[in-house]
């Protein structure tokens, strides 16, 4: 099993895309690339299970380690544990769904799919990196395609949003860079070298006072990616301006890069500092959860609703990480996967609605269940997942976070947990409000009330397939979470 | 105070005084002449320091070359004798302040350092032959490499000057070179080229 | 007895029904969905009855008690060693009883809907949702694990949401569905936090283990939870209260009852199933499940008692004033559930005998039958008249004799007329109250009188009151199809019969069974109250007259208040709209837009502004460049020579 | 001796030979511009190839000329840059009257740079510096009829003369304080006294002027804007690169005893440079001016790297210059092409560029991304290593400031990208035909941008040649 | 003659340097600016020769340096004047204040 293939596959797809002519070829190549990725992700999953079953207790499996830059002891070091595998699967799911959803772009199809594929490559690379440099490399690889995707194919204030997103993410990675430098120069391997190697650093002990300096950099840096309050403002604008597939990617995968980084780099490498700062993290995460949820209530644009709710949901990721208990961290990872699928589904549904009705204003839509039952159902499922309905993935993740969070007996943590729990009510309120207006109620498509009803069509096969793939993922976690917990238990 | 000292201070006063005049007078031509005096003063100073070769070079290059060049260019670009526009007072004051402060600052540092000469002061003789030999010597204390490089510099400067300062035919004709079919195609080019060459040969 | 061979089918068959009907129903089973769903339910009901038979009569008591049996258990989500959500099936008297009730009522509703919902656009979807609900409800009652119950708790909530909002293009239905979901969600928040507390101290989520650990006064969990207080109250009280809040929300107890009357927007059979017989009693079931733990903390039980009693009384009063027949039934449901709850709590005031448990579940049991009967009857009427408004009805008895009879039976049952089912269960409740707290007893007694009054007000208004002919002369319409009649008959029979079951013998708190002896003399007062209520209703509503209006005018303020449901909706509207919406959400969105995001934009703007302001540095004048150049040198040298000597 | 001479000075000799060949051609025959261009490019290629043959270490002329593999490498980088610039300017030069002169001047400056890098002696350094800047002033004026071109040349020669005056004053003080002009002897006399600090600042200003460090940078933007694009790209890349090489070696060898002082100076200067460069770049509308300020900011990052004063730092600086050659020249290549054909140089002219010229757009975009330091382009690696070597000193304040400034720099690079891809334009630049030479140059640049970073070997190799303390 | 302290000579050269600088800062005419630069370079020359003579008389480094400076300065002046003349052709003025087309 070679993990490098995960990077090579999208790369080949991307190059092949550049050589394509015509929409048809582009579609075929992009889709087949995504399918192969998905298949490979499953192969990896199986291989992972087999190796674990065979009693392989190594921290990381499928490791590959090549020296890249000798002077700085930079390695191309990749490997995967359960968390990585879970995130890879998530990426594969969202990628294929994203490609299916954006079956016909208005312009520049080739470039669109090219960038999308590139984005998935960045995500794969990030999730399998075991070297901080490689990790950082892939983290940044993913920024530019987002900028272009939003800026070129977006809607609304797309330039502003694209710029904001790119700059804020860049700011995040700048902070991450400082943390990396700090970590690097404060490690000393047995051979007397500094190292970027995650596994080695985890074993070497970084002095506590150093940790205390660089932990905030790393955490806030990655936090920006995962909408840490108050650095979340790129999320609503970015998500809402992006084209559907890009929104799916952004919310589904990109935000997870941050969570993954917070966990892998900040928390696991600097445990003492994480301990010391956890109260701040908890506070910020709680604010994000509650405040994001309340802010969502006031939104009138469907994409904004989902974007703000993403802020709130990603708060759970940070909350789980900040709680520092095993269960809570497990919950955080589950929330990452779950939110990735769920929010992608939500954005897909919104995108489908938008494609047909050309509006995303809640006030201008109504009763769409009547004319497009499939899309409406998808919307409902996404909404229900978002509000944490058992049987769908959201609940599993949230309850795990709560369970883990409650293990922390201090008053502040308790209050944070209670507030976080309370947010599920607020979530229910805004989701149901949106659902009640858009999906249910009398049919209405524009503000003037003129009915486009007859001209509206339900989802095409590609959209159905995209939604089905994501729903399968959501159900797989929601109905049978044990495989996921087994996977990420380490 | 010996005569030598007196001469030194006289030359110093002359150099500085003419220099000040050169940078303050409002008539450009006079300014050039004051500069000439100042440079001659510096040459005198080299004589006083018994580095006659440098003094000679100073006079030949500066007085005979640079200043003449400057005067020519004044003639080329200026109605001589007319007053130059005064700089704004603010700038004068500001520059004066900056320069005085800079001078105080630098000189204070230099003065504090002192530059005490080596105690057994060696006689300092600069025979021209030694300069000549060293200039083209490749061994220790030889300066042949900078000499050669400077020659390249002079070449480059010369070519640069020619290209820039030479009058060219109006641009219109030369631009048409790469558009063959219409109008004065080949001939225009030939004219320009030959003119270039003529001028260049003269200058060289 | 080995149940594992088939027991899983009981919840899974409806699930399968949901999946099949949900995915393919609209296309492939547009007509046959009802039959398919009903068949599944028949199988499930048979299995449930078989299980009950096995449990009570084949396995029977072991060591004198009905042993709880964990028929199935799978780890579903492992949090940490010892702490996991398990999916399983727990059989004990209460759950087996509930199993029977749920499947039976559900089957009745399925059958009834065949006629009632015929020709409905989304017929298959309707059955899919019913199946989903049945699955969730069965999962709920069979739960082995407190989080399992929470999971199914939420699922019944969402099925309820979907079914209330079944007529999705009706704004009122949508609003009602939202309200139901959100209110119960709010209550579930309490439930969830309660679970977290209990799980934290007991270190388990399994009911059996949890109860065992928390009731064993020698164990560490006990000493920990007993020794901890929060805001001056013991943590255990907090936990149990919070869990009860969850139950109260689902059971529509005061002050979280507001959603239930609105939920009547759903199709009537759905109301019969969800909002009368099964889901709304989940709160009672939840408290009953954790009853041993509640018994430790009597203060919580007292709270439960008061809430139950107040709900029973207030809801009864409101029910007297409502004119929508389904709303009357809804308030009646609240009132009856109030009975069930306060009887669970009332032993806390007195000698703490255990009879409250039995009585409560007995009433739950009987109530399920007669209340669903009432709803189905009302449904039949509505199906016929096409309105819910009482004032538009009257004299329907001529057209629907069967409905009339069964409705009367149900009314008498709920009023507590012997020997119908309601009489027995209510008698046990009153007895328990009498033994433990007289005040509660009197409330209950009065409430039972009021119950009789409003039920018969309903009955008379529908079936008598006005002369029959006002536009609904189409005789052929009549009672509807056989499928609508059959359930009425079945349920009426049940409403008559089930009272005779020696319920407390089978279902009791400790599984041993208990005998509750009620002297005949004790029954005099309640029955008298009931008859008085009926008489009053007869006087006022048997024939169309002006007395009700006069009476209403005489009661003035109270009548208006009750009619407006004591202004609870307005209060909630104020809290949600004014406080939460305008007070929190709006400022949050504002802050986000103008302060947090404003800061980010300000950063960008400031950068460009600074950039604009310093542009004079690059003045284009080569002399000023030189001055800056020289200034730079002097500054650098000055700083490093005089200020920062290395 | 003669063999040594030929081997060690091979690059300088070849350049000299080329200069004379061109000179003779100019004087002797009437030859078309195309032929001269072909010949010149061929010769430059030859020069580049010769650079890779036989690397040796040694010194000539009494330490006036030093060479070692690193210096040879640096010269090769410059030669490569020269070749690229030459290829890119072909389109502009074809129309020009003075092609051989242009090449002669260009190569003279290159020669000056070579001598400057190889200088083991302040005199050689000075002469090299002047040789590399005086002809440049003339080159800046090569758009003879254009007002801006002559203004640029004037500003350049005036600033440059002033800067060299100050530099000379500094050199004279150093000479006075140490009594020697030879680097190797000088190092022993450096103590860090106040006069030496002053002299050092003067020297530093000379360097800083050439590489446009704030506040010695003010000439940069004006000259870049006014000069012909080829000259601008030459100024911004090759000229800067060469001075940087010389700067690093002088700093690390001669002024090593004063490291504590100059470390802090560079700290201040780098922060200022990055900040001012960025702040000015945000606002620019002329793309050349914009690139000027962006290159100032880049220099700030390089200074951060230089503060590292380790082997890593040297390697990173050389590596970055190599990458910078590729990236900046790729950007300038597109700008030059557009400017040569349409004469449009405003950022707003590039709106909708992608619609008409997708290939050029991608080239420009990749180049800008590389300048911004976005992976997988080499710029990312270059900047990463620079900042890492800066961080090696443990001064995380500096690193944080630099890293945060990356955001601003990111903004203005993205501004261009936005114009290219996203903005609508009524009159976009028409579809351009890319001439063969320019195409070749672009291919070289893009391949360089992609390969230099990803192939770790390049950096490893440079590192193995580097030095530090 | 050796009774003249080196610092006096340095005083003069430094003063000359700053006089030149003053001229550079204030003169608006490009040619006069160029003349100021010549003054600056001359002051440096004096420095070199003086240091050589007073401090390090055994080698001729300073003298040679000043010779090269003179040469370079001449070249520089030539190019500068050529540029100025070209500027004059394009602008019809050699006033530095009038050649500020490019700024900000």
Helices (H), A326-460: 326-357, 373-386, 393-406, 411-438
Paired tokens of A82: 């359960």
Give pLDDT, residue B127: 82
- As a whole number of angstroms, the distance between CA C150 and CA C155 comes to 9
Closest partner CB to B105 (pick from C623, C627, C634): C634
Q: Which residues contact D82 (CB under 8 A, 6 or more apart)?
A: D44, D106, D107, D110, D234, D238
Is B176 a residue whose pLDDT tops 70? no
Contacts of B95 in chain C (CB under 8 A): 627
Closest alpha carbon to D248 in D74, D405, D108: D74
Asked whether the beta carbons of residue B105 and residue C638 sit closer than 8 angstroms, the reply is yes
User: Which residue ranges of chain D lie beneath pLDDT 70?
Assistant: 1, 55
Q: What would the CATH number be for the domain defined by B3-126?
A: 1.20.120.1200
Strands C83-91 and C69-80: antiparallel
Looking at chain A from residue 216 to 245, which residues have their Cβ under 8 Å from any Cβ of chain C? 229-230, 232-233, 236-237
Given a cut of 60, whether residue A454 has pLDDT beyond it is no
What are the residue ranges spanned by the domains of chain B?
3-126, 169-204
Considering CB atoms only, which of B177, B196, B197 is closest to D95?
A: B177
Q: Which residues of C touch D222 (CB under 8 A)?
A: 618, 620
User: How many CB pairs below 8 Å do chains B and E form together?
Assistant: 227
Residues contacting residue C340 through CB under 8 Å, at least 6 positions apart: C281, C284, C308, C360, C361, C363, C364, C367, C429
Token pair in block for residue D281:
């770049």
Question: Under an 8 A CB cutoff, do E95 and B85 touch?
Answer: yes
C640–D158 CB contact, under 8 Å: no
Rounded to 5 degrees, what are φ and ψ at C206? -75, 135
Cα–Cα distance measured from residue D67 to residue C112, given in angstroms and rounded to the nearest whole number: 100
What domains sit in chain E, N to C, each tagged with a CATH number? 6-97 (1.10.287.3510)
What is the distance between the alpha carbons of residues B105 and D86, in angstroms, rounded to a whole number? 46
Nearest to C633 among D194, D201, D261 (CB): D201
Test A144 with D315 for CB contact under 8 angstroms. Answer: no
- Give the dihedral sign, CA C352/C354/C358/C364: positive
Cβ–Cβ below 8 Å for C620 and E25: no
Q: How far apart are CA B180 and CA B171, in angstroms?
A: 16
Q: Do D380 and A69 touch (CB under 8 A)?
A: no
- B89 compared with C388, residue with greater pLDDT: B89
Q: Identify whether the C-beta of residue D445 lies closer than 8 Å to the C-beta of residue D370.
A: no
**Contact: chain A with chain E (3+ CB pairs below 8 Å):** no
What does the pLDDT read at residue C30? 78
Chain B residues with CB under 8 Å of E77 CB are 66, 69-70
Q: Residue C504 above 80 pLDDT?
A: no
Predicted pLDDT at B187:
37
Minimum mean pLDDT among A57-61, B50-54, B64-68, D306-310: which range? A57-61
Q: CA–CA separation, D246 vs D207, rounded Å?
A: 9
Asked whether A and C share 3 or more beta-carbon pairs under 8 angstroms, the answer is: yes
Helix D436-454 with D378-391: angle, nearest 10 deg: 40
Of residues B94, B95, B102, nearest to C634 (C-beta): B102
User: Cβ D279–C637 below 8 Å, yes or no?
Assistant: no
How many helical (H) and strand (E) elements, i.e. helices and strands, does chain D have?
21, 2
Spatial distance between the Cα atoms of A478 and C513, rounded to a whole number of angstroms: 40
Least confident of A182-196, B92-106, B161-175: B161-175
Domain that holds residue A39: 4-488
What does the mean pLDDT of chain C come to? 84
pLDDT reading at B200 higher than 70: no
**Contact yes or no for D58/D1 (Cβ under 8 A):** no
Which residues does residue A201 pair with via DSSP β-bridges, in sequence order?
none
**Between chains, do B145 and D145 touch, taking CB under 8 Å as contact?**
no
Residue D75's closest CA among D9, D22, D134?
Answer: D9
Chains that touch D (3 or more CB pairs under 8 A): A, B, C, E
Q: Between chains, do D141 and E86 touch, taking CB under 8 Å as contact?
A: yes
- Domain locations in chain C? 9-563, 570-643
A361 three-state secondary structure: strand
Which whole-number Å values give the CA distances from C524 to C439, C442, C528, D330, in the listed order?
A: 18, 14, 6, 102
Residues 72-91, chain B: which have Cβ within 8 Å of E?
A: 73-74, 76-78, 84-85, 87, 91
Q: Residue C477 above 80 pLDDT?
A: no
Q: What is the largest CA-CA distance in chain D?
A: 66
Which residues of chain E make contact with C618, given a CB cutoff of 8 A? 103-104
CA distance C448 to C345: 18
Tens of pLDDT, residue by residue over A374-401, are: 888 899 999 999 888 888 888 889 989 9
Kindly state the tokens that stand for D370: 């590389």
Q: Is A3 helix (H, G, I), strand (E, B) or coil?
A: coil
Q: Tell whether omega for the bond before C419 is within 30 degrees of 0, i.e. cis.
A: yes
Contacts of D314 (CB under 8 A, 6+ apart): D70, D248, D252, D466, D467, D468
Q: Residues C453-471: what's their mean pLDDT?
A: 76
> What is the C-alpha to C-alpha distance for residues D321 and D317, in angstroms, rounded to an integer?
6
CA distances from A342 to A348, A381, C16, D55 (A): 10, 9, 24, 61
pLDDT in tens for each of the 104 residues of chain E? 456 888 888 999 999 999 999 999 998 888 899 999 999 999 999 999 999 888 888 888 889 999 999 999 999 999 999 999 888 888 888 888 888 888 87
3-class state of residue A440 by DSSP: coil
> Which residues of E fall within a CB distance of 8 Å from C620?
100-104
Query: Three-state secondary structure along chain B?
Result: CCHHHHHHHHHHHHHHHHHHHHHHCCEHHHHHHHHHHHHHHHHHHHHHCCCHHHHHHHHHHHHHHHHHHHHHHHHHHCCCCCECCCCCHHHHHHHHHHHHHHHHHHHHHHHHHCCCCCCCCCCCCCCHHHHHHHHCCCCCCCCHHHHHHHHHHHHHHHHHHHHHHCCCCCHHHHHHHHCCCCCCCHHHHHHHHHHHHHHHHHHC
Residue numbers in B near D173 (CB within 8 A): 110
Please state the rounded mean pLDDT for residues B119-126.
Answer: 69
Residue E36 Cα, gap to closest chain B Cα (Å): 7
**Token output for A54:** 């065979």
- The CB density around residue B139, as the number of other CB atoms within 10 Å, is 9
Average the pLDDT over A46-59 and give the result.
Answer: 86
Between C558 and D72, the more confident residue is: D72
Chain E closest-CA separation from residue C617 CA (Å): 7
- The phi-psi region of residue B50 (left if phi > 0; otherwise alpha if psi is between -120 and 50; otherwise beta) is left
| A221–chain D Cβ distance below 8 A for any pair | no
When pLDDT is cut at 50, 70 and 90, the band that residue C351 belongs to is low
Which of A326, A418, A432 lies closest to C178 in CB terms?
A: A432
Where does residue B50 rank: exposed (0-12), middle (13-18), buried (19+ CB within 10 A)? middle
- The verdict on D20 touching A (C-beta cutoff 8 Å) is no
Contact flag C636-D265 (C-beta cutoff 8 Å): yes
* Chain B residues with beta carbon closer than 8 angstroms to that of E18: 99-100, 102-103, 106
Cβ within 8 Å of D, B 41-70: none
Q: Give the distance from residue D346's alpha carbon to the nearest chain A alpha carbon, in angstroms.
A: 19
- Is residue C563's pLDDT more than 90? no
Q: By C-alpha distance, which of E45, E41, E30, E39 is closest to B20? A: E39
Q: A69 - beta bridge partners?
A: A74
Return the exposure string of D301-313: e unless at least 16 CB atoms fall within 10 Å of the residue's CB, then b: bbbbbbbbbbbbb
C304: pLDDT strictly greater than 50? yes
Show Cβ contacts of residue C387 under 8 Å, excluding neighbours closer than 6 positions.
C393
Distance in angstroms (rounded) separating the CA atoms of residues A473 and A342? 9
The string over D49-59, giving b where at least 16 C-beta atoms fall within 10 Å of a residue's C-beta and e elsewhere, is eebeeebeeeb
- pLDDT band with cut points at 50, 70 and 90 for residue C355: low
Contact (CB, 8 A) for A196 and A132: yes
Find the residue in E nearest to C618 (Cα).
E104
Picking from E8, E22, E82, the nearest residue to B164 by CB comes out as E82
Distance of CA C249 to the CA centre of its chain: 6
Q: Which of B90-104, C25-39, D283-297, D368-382 has the lowest mean pLDDT?
A: C25-39
How many whole angstroms separate alpha carbon D383 and alpha carbon D459? 13
**Chains interfacing with A (3 or more CB pairs < 8 Å):** C, D
Where does residue A24 rank: exposed (0-12), middle (13-18), buried (19+ CB within 10 A)?
exposed
**pLDDT value, residue D305:** 92
Q: How many residues does chain C have?
A: 646
Whether residue C395 has pLDDT greater than 80 = no
Task: Determine the Cα–Cα distance for residues C193 and C242; give it in Å rounded to an integer.
Answer: 7
Closest CA of chain D from E78, distance in Å: 10
pLDDT reported for residue B180: 39
Residue of B nearest to C638 (CA): B105
Structurally, chain A folds into a number of domains equal to 1
Which chains are adjacent to chain C, needing at least 3 Cβ pairs under 8 Å? A, B, D, E
Q: What are the residues whose beta carbons fall under 8 Å from the beta carbon of E64, sequence distance 6 or more?
A: B131, B134, B135, B143, B146, D123
What is the CA A483 to chain-centroid distance, rounded? 20
Q: Which residues contact A285 (CB under 8 A, 6 or more apart)?
A: A228, A229, A315, A316, A318, A319, A322, A416, A420
H/E stretch holding D306 reads helix D287-307
**In chain C, which residue's Cα lies nearest the Cα of E100?**
C620
Question: Which residue in the set E97, E101, E103 is minimally distant from C618, CB to CB?
Answer: E103
CB pairs under 8 A between C and E: 26
The fraction of chain C above a pLDDT of 70, given in percent, is 97
**B28 inside 8 A of chain E by CB:** yes
> A74 and chain D: CB distance < 8 Å anywhere?
yes
């Amino acid at each position: 099993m070679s993990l490098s293939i995960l990077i090579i596959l999208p790369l080949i797809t991307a190059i092949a895309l550049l050589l394509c002519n015509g929409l048809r070829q582009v579609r075929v190549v992009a889709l087949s690339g995504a399918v192969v990725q998905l298949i490979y992700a499953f192969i990896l999953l199986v291989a992972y299970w087999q190796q674990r079953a065979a009693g392989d207790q190594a921290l990381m499996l499928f490791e590959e380690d090549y020296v890249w830059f000798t002077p700085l002891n930079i390695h191309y070091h990749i490997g995967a544990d359960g968390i990585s595998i879970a995130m890879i699967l998530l990426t594969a799911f969202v990628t294929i769904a994203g490609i299916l959803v954006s079956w016909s772009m208005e312009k520049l199809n080739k470039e669109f799919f090219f960038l999308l594929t590139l984005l998935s490559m960045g995500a794969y690379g990030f999730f399998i990196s075991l070297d901080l440099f490689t990790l950082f490399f892939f983290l940044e690889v993913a920024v530019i395609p987002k900028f272009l995707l939003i800026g070129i194919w977006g809607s609304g204030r797309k330039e502003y949003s694209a710029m904001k997103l790119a700059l804020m993410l860049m700011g995040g990675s700048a902070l991450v860079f400082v943390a990396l430098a700090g970590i690097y120069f404060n490690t000393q391997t047995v051979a007397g070298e500094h190292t970027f190697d995650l596994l080695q650093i985890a074993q070497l002990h970084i002095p506590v006072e150093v940790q205390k300096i660089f932990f905030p950099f790393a955490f806030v840096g990655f936090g920006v990616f995962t909408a840490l309050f108050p650095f979340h403002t790129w999320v609503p604008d970015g998500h809402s301006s992006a084209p559907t597939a890009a929104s799916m990617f952004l919310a589904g995968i990109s935000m997870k890069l941050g969570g993954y980084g917070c966990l892998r780099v900040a928390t696991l490498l600097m445990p003492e500092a994480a301990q010391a700062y956890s109260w701040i993290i908890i506070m910020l995460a709680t604010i994000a959860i509650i405040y994001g949820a309340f802010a969502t209530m006031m939104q009138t644009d469907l994409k904004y609703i989902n974007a703000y709710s993403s802020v709130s949901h990603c708060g759970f990721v940070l909350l789980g990480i900040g709680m520092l208990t095993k269960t809570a961290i497990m919950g955080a990872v589950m929330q990452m996967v779950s939110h990735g699928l769920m929010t992608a589904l939500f954005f897909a549904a919104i995108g489908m609605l938008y494609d047909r009705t050309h509006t995303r204003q809640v006030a201008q839509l109504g009763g769409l269940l009547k004319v497009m039952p499939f899309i409406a159902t998808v919307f409902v499922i996404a909404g229900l997942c978002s509000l944490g309905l058992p049987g769908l993935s959201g609940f599993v993740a949230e309850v795990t976070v709560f369970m883990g969070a409650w293990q922390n007996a201090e008053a502040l943590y308790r209050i944070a947990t209670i507030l976080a729990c309370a947010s599920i009510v607020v979530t229910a309120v805004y989701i149901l409000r949106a659902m009640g207006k858009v999906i249910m109620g009398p049919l209405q498509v524009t503000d003037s009330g003129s009915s486009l009803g007859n001209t509206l069509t339900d989802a095409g096969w590609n959209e159905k397939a995209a939604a089905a793939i994501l729903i399968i993922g959501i159900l797989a976690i929601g109905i049978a979470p044990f495989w996921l917990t087994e996977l990420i238990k380490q | 105070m010996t005569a030598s000292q007196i001469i030194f201070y006289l030359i110093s006063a002359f150099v500085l005084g003419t220099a000040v005049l050169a940078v303050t007078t409002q008539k450009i031509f006079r300014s050039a002449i004051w500069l000439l005096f100042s440079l001659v003063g510096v040459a005198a100073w080299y004589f006083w320091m018994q580095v006659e070769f440098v003094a000679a070079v100073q006079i030949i290059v500066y007085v005979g070359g640079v200043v003449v060049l400057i005067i020519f260019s004044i003639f080329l670009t200026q109605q001589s004798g007319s007053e130059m526009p005064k700089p704004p007072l603010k700038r004068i004051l500001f520059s004066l302040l900056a320069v005085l402060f800079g001078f105080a600052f630098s000189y204070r540092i230099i003065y504090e350092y002192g530059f005490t000469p080596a105690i057994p002061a060696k006689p300092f003789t600069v025979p021209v032959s030694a300069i000549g030999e060293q200039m083209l010597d490749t061994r220790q204390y030889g300066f042949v490499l900078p000499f050669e490089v400077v020659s390249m510099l002079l070449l480059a400067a010369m070519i640069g000057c020619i290209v820039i300062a030479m009058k060219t035919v109006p641009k219109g004709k030369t631009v048409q070179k790469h558009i063959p079919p219409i109008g004065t195609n080949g001939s225009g080019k030939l004219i320009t080229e030959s003119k270039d060459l003529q001028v260049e040969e003269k200058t060289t | 007895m080995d149940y594992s061979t088939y027991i899983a089918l009981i919840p899974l068959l409806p699930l399968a029904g949901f999946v099949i009907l949900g995915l393919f129903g609209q296309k492939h089973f547009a007509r046959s969905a009802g039959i398919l769903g009903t068949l599944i339910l028949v199988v499930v009901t048979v299995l449930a009855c078989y299980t009950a038979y096995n449990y009570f009569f084949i396995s029977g008591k072991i060591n004198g008690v009905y042993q709880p049996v964990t028929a199935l258990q799978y780890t579903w989500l492992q949090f940490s060693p010892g702490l996991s959500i398990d999916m399983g099936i727990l059989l004990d008297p209460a759950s087996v009883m509930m199993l029977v009730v749920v499947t039976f009522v559900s089957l009745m509703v399925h059958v009834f809907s065949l006629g009632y919902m015929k020709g409905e656009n989304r017929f298959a979807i309707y059955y899919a949702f019913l199946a989903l609900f049945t699955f969730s409800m069965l999962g709920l009652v069979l739960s082995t694990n407190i989080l399992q119950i929470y999971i199914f708790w939420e699922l019944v909530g969402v099925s309820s949401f979907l079914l209330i909002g079944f007529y999705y293009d009706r704004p009122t239905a949508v609003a009602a569905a939202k309200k139901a979901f959100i209110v119960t969600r709010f209550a579930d928040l309490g439930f969830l936090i309660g679970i977290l507390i209990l799980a934290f101290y007991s270190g388990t989520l399994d009911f059996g283990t949890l109860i065992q650990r928390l009731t064993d006064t020698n164990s560490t969990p006990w000493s920990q939870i007993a020794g901890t207080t929060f805001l001056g109250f013991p943590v255990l009280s907090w936990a149990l209260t919070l869990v009860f809040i969850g139950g109260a929300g689902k059971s529509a107890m005061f002050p979280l009852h507001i959603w239930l009357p609105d939920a009547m927007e759903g199709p009537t059979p759905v109301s019969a199933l969800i909002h009368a017989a099964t889901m709304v009693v989940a709160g009672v079931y939840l408290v009953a499940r954790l009853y041993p733990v509640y018994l430790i903390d009597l203060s919580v039980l007292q709270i439960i008692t008061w809430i139950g009693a107040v709900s029973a009384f207030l809801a009864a009063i409101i029910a007297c004033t409502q004119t929508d027949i389904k709303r009357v039934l809804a308030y009646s449901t609240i009132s009856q559930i109030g009975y069930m709850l306060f009887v669970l709590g009332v032993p806390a005031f007195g000698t703490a005998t255990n009879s409250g448990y039995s009585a409560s579940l007995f009433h739950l049991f009987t109530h399920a039958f007669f209340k669903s009967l009432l709803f189905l009857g009302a449904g039949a009427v509505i199906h016929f008249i096409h309105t819910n408004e009482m004032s538009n009805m009257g004299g329907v008895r001529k057209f629907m004799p069967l409905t009339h009879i069964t409705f009367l039976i149900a009314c008498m049952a709920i009023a507590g007329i012997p020997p119908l089912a309601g009489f027995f269960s209510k008698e046990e409740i009153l007895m328990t109250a009498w033994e433990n707290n007289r005040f509660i007893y009197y409330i209950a007694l009065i409430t039972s009188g009021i119950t009789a009054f409003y039920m018969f007000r309903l009955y008379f208004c529908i079936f008598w009151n006005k002369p029959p002919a006002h536009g609904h002369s189409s005789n052929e319409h009549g009672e509807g199809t056989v499928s609508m009649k059959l359930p009425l008959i079945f349920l009426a029979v049940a409403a008559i019969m089930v009272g005779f079951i020696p319920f407390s013998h089978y279902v009791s708190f400790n599984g041993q069974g208990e005998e509750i002896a009620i002297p005949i003399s004790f029954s005099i007062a309640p029955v008298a109250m009931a008859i008085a209520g009926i008489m009053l209703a007869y006087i006022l509503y048997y024939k169309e007259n002006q007395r009700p209006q006069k009476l209403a005018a005489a009661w003035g303020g109270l009548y208006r208040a009750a009619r407006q449901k004591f202004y609870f909706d307005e209060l909630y509207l104020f809290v949600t709209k004014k406080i939460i919406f305008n007070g929190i959400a709006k400022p949050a969105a504002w802050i986000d837009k103008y302060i947090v995001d404003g800061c980010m934009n300000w950063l960008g703007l400031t950068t460009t502004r600074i950039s604009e302001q310093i542009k004079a540095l690059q003045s284009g004048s080569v002399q000023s460049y030189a001055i800056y150049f020289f200034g730079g040198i002097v500054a650098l040298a000055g700083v490093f020579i005089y200020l920062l000597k290395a | 001796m003669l063999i040594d001479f030929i081997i060690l000075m091979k690059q300088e000799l070849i350049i000299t030979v080329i200069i004379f060949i061109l000179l003779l051609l100019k004087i002797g025959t009437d030859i078309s511009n195309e032929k001269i261009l072909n010949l010149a490019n061929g010769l430059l290629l030859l020069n580049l190839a010769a650079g890779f043959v036989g690397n040796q270490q040694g010194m000539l002329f009494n330490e006036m000329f030093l060479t070692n593999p690193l210096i040879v490498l640096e010269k090769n980088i410059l030669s490569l840059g020269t070749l690229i610039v030459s290829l890119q300017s072909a389109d502009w030069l074809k129309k020009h009257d003075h092609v051989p002169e242009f090449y002669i001047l260009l190569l003279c400056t290159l020669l000056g740079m070579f001598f400057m890098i190889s200088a083991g002696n302040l005199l050689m350094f000075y002469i090299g510096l002047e040789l590399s800047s005086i002809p440049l002033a003339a080159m800046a004026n090569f758009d003879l009829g254009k007002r801006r071109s002559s203004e640029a040349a004037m500003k350049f020669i005036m600033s440059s003369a002033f800067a060299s005056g100050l530099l000379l004053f500094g050199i004279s003080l150093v000479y006075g304080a140490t009594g020697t002009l030879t680097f190797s002897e000088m190092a022993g006399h450096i103590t860090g006294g106040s006069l030496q600090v002053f002299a050092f600042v003067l020297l530093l200003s000379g360097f800083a002027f050439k590489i446009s460090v704030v506040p010695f940078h003010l000439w940069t933007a004006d000259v870049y804007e006014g000069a012909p694009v080829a000259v601008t790209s030459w100024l911004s890349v090759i000229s800067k690169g060469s001075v940087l090489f010389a700067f690093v070696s002088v700093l690390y060898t001669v002024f090593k005893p004063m490291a504590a002082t100059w470390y802090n100076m560079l700290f201040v200067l780098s922060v200022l440079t990055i900040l001012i460069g960025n702040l000015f770049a945000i606002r620019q509308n002329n793309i050349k001016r914009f690139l000027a300020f962006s290159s100032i900011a880049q220099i700030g990052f390089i200074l951060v790297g230089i503060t590292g004063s380790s082997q890593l730092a040297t390697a990173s600086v050389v590596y970055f210059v190599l990458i910078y050659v590729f990236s900046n020249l790729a950007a300038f290549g597109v700008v030059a092409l557009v400017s040569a054909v349409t004469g449009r140089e405003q950022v707003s002219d590039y709106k909708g560029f992608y619609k008409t010229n997708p290939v050029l757009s991608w080239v420009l975009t990749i180049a800008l991304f590389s300048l911004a330091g976005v992976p997988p382009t080499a710029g990312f690696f270059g900047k990463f290593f620079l900042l890492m070597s800066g961080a090696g000193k443990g001064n995380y304040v500096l690193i944080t400031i630099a890293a945060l400034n990356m955001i601003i720099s990111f903004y203005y690079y993205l501004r261009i990208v936005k114009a290219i891809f996203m903005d609508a334009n009524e009159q976009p630049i028409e579809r351009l035909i890319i001439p063969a030479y320019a195409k070749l140059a672009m291919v070289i640049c893009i391949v360089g941008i992609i390969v230099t970073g990803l192939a770790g070997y390049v950096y490893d190799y440079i590192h193995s040649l580097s030095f530090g303390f | 003659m050796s009774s003249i302290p080196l610092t006096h000579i340095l005083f003069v050269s430094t003063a000359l340097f700053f006089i030149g600088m003053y001229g550079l800062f204030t003169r608006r005419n490009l040619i006069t600016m160029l003349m100021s630069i010549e003054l600056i370079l001359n002051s440096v020359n004096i420095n070199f020769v003086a240091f050589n003579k007073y401090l390090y008389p055994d080698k001729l480094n300073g003298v040679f340096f000043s010779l090269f400076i003179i040469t370079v300065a001449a070249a520089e002046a030539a190019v500068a004047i050529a540029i100025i003349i070209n500027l004059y052709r394009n602008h019809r003025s050699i006033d530095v204040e009038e050649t500020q087309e490019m700024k900000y």
